[in-house]
A and B are shown apart, each in its own frame.
Chain A
Amino acid sequence: MLGRVGGAGVTAVAVARYLLADAVRSQRVVLPVVLQVAVLAVLFGGDPGRLPAPWGASVLTLYPVAAWLALTIAHTEDPVQRDVTVAAAGGVGPVAAGTLLVALAGDLGLAVLSVLWPVVVTPYPASPSIILTGLLAHLAAGATGTAVGLLCARPWIRRVGRSLLVGAVVVIATAVQPWLPPVGSTVQALADGAGPGAVVLPAALALLLAVLVTWASSVRARRD
């Protein structure tokens, strides 16, 4: 039997499961997760005030944390090991897509944690609308971080150290611009106490960015 079960989507999920299994075993993904949890503990340990404004800080933290996570996952495999996976997956596309899936799953997990933490431990009211605002705001920052992380990883930048440095510069330069979508404008919207309508577009834009970077990476990787 010289066949293959399932299409590119099934292959991408299989790649994602493989990368996730290896990432979970390595200690490299622990640090960014610990950083987010530590910020949440400090932020919501005292009296943070009414939601959604305090989420501005956790959103701003999730941006570099998501970039760090994506970068780590993109560098899980040595370039030669990556060749083996690409040959098995039948191309670079499903491997790049699998990397994106793992990174976005990490973003989603940290976003849900960051949103639920103050809802559970602080006495302030959290309507479904406020919760949705918080979730979309965190997803906007997470997906943007993923896009930045993937753009600073292989095949664009081969060395992990240089990747981290460039990633840090990009994140710091873009996070502090309150007018700049998706992250800056999202943080500004949270500070203004805006509803979910103000963060839907940034979240969609962030997701689009992450998908575009993934596509560009797979085109770039085939040239090597």
Chain B
Amino acid sequence: MVRVERVHKRYRNGPPVLAGVDLALTPGAPAVLAGGNGSGKSTLLRIVAGCALPTVGRVTGRPPVVGYLPDRFPAQLRLPADAYLRHLARIRGTPPDPGLLERFGFTGPRREPMARLSKGNAQKVGLAQALGAGVGLVVLDEPWAGLDVAAADTLADLLDEVAAEATVLVTDHTGRAARLPGARHLRLRDGRVEDAPAPAAAEPTVAIVLRCPEPEQVRHRLGVPGLVDGGRLHLRAAPTESDPLLFAALRLGCSVESVGPA
């Protein structure tokens, strides 16, 4: 069990970022840490992963093999992705897991410098190094950022698999972590961590763009919130309400410019 005991962190000349965090993390299900911007989530994750020491307090029971994904995986190296993953596996003392990149649907060049990768592909390399074989503690800072839908689903599946044996701690702003089965939800507020209720998964919505002769009036007649921009009316609706809304808008003389996922 990874135990975070009375951890305080203060950077030079700054206010305290963490003010007495107590946390016990166990394998079995991923732990999801929420908190506002600048609340200290990334600082806590760096301390749990072993990249930084707390000013006061300690972390005990950290397993020998740790996988860490920072908030934005930089990938500015001249090494190609394949070579980077081989080196990182050797540094961890675990066998490389070349199939992971394929599972994430990595489409970038494997033998060219990582600095040339797109943001999404770089993120997949970062995830592949963090989730490789033999890992005992996985710490992922905003792992869904920049991932396409298929890779985001793969990550959810992988976290479920990995969490069976390893301790998993993630942060997330995309809402994906809310749908992780059995996840434990935590919130960081005022430098302390508390258990939090699972956030409600966001309903999928449809974004509609209409071109109307009098958009302000149409918006009023339709009775829905929306944004007027030039001659266009931007609306959002639940999938079940989108058809009646479009029908009504067409009858009011609008033409549909686009309909798509929000």
Within 8 A of B (CB), among A62-114: 76-78, 80-81, 83-91, 94
Interface 0/1 of B69-100, CB less than 8 Å to A: 11111111111000100011011111000000
CA distance A6 to B94 in the complex (A): 10
B interface residues, how many (CB within 8 angstroms): 42
Interface of B is mostly: loop
- A222 adjacent to chain B (CB < 8 Å): yes
Given A86-B51, A87-B66, answer yes or no on A4-B134 (Cβ-Cβ < 8 Å). yes
Chain B nearest Cβ from A213, distance in angstroms: 20
- A24-51 interface bits toward B, Cβ cutoff 8 Å, 1 = contact, 0 = none: 0110000000000000000000000000
Is A224 part of the contact surface with B, judged by Cβ < 8 Å? yes
A89 to B66, CA, bound (A): 8
Partner of B91, one of A1, A3, A18: A18
Pairwise interchain contact B94-A89, C-beta atoms closer than 8 A: no
> Would you call A17 and B78 a contact (CB within 8 A)?
no
Structural contact, A85 and B88, CB atoms closer than 8 A: yes
B53, A87: Cβ atoms closer than 8 Å: no
How many cross-chain pairs have Cβ atoms below 8 Å apart between A and B? 107
The one of B78, B126, B129, B134 in contact with A2, judged by C-beta atoms closer than 8 angstroms, is: B134
Report whether B74 and A3 are in contact in the complex, using a CB–CB cutoff of 8 Å: no
B66 near A90 with CB under 8 A, answer yes
A84 B134 Cβ-Cβ under 8 A: no
Q: Would you call A15 an interface residue if the criterion is a C-beta within 8 Å of the partner chain's C-beta atoms? A: yes
- Is B49 on the interface with A (CB-CB < 8 A)? yes
Query: B18 CB to closest chain A CB, in angstroms?
Result: 14
Q: Which residues of A contact B104 (CB under 8 A)?
A: none
Q: How far is the CB of B167 from chain A (nearest CB, A)?
A: 10
* B7: min CB distance to chain A, Å: 14
- What A residues does B90 contact at CB under 8 A? 14, 17-18
Say whether, besides A14-B87, A88-B66, A88-B67, A81 and B74 are in contact (CB < 8 Å): yes
- B:35-79 near A, CB below 8 Å: 46, 49-53, 63-79
How many angstroms between the C-alpha atoms of A40 and B63 in the bound complex?
50
Chain B residues contacting A83 (CB-CB under 8 Å) are: 46, 49, 51, 68, 70
**Contact in complex: A3, B70 (CB < 8 Å):** no
Per the bound structure, the CA–CA distance linking A15 and B69 in Å amounts to 18
Measured CA separation A91–B129 after assembly (Å): 16
CB of B28 within 8 A of chain A?
no
Interface: A121 (CB within 8 A): no
CB atoms of B78 and A25 under 8 A apart: yes
Which residues on the A side are within 8 Å of B130 (C-beta)? 84
A88 and B129 in contact, given A1-B134, A83-B46 (Cβ under 8 angstroms): yes
Besides A4-B134, A25-B79, 13 other A-B contacts (C-beta < 8 A): A2-B64, A2-B166, A3-B64, A4-B65, A11-B93, A18-B88, A21-B83, A21-B87, A76-B77, A80-B71, A80-B74, A84-B73, A87-B50
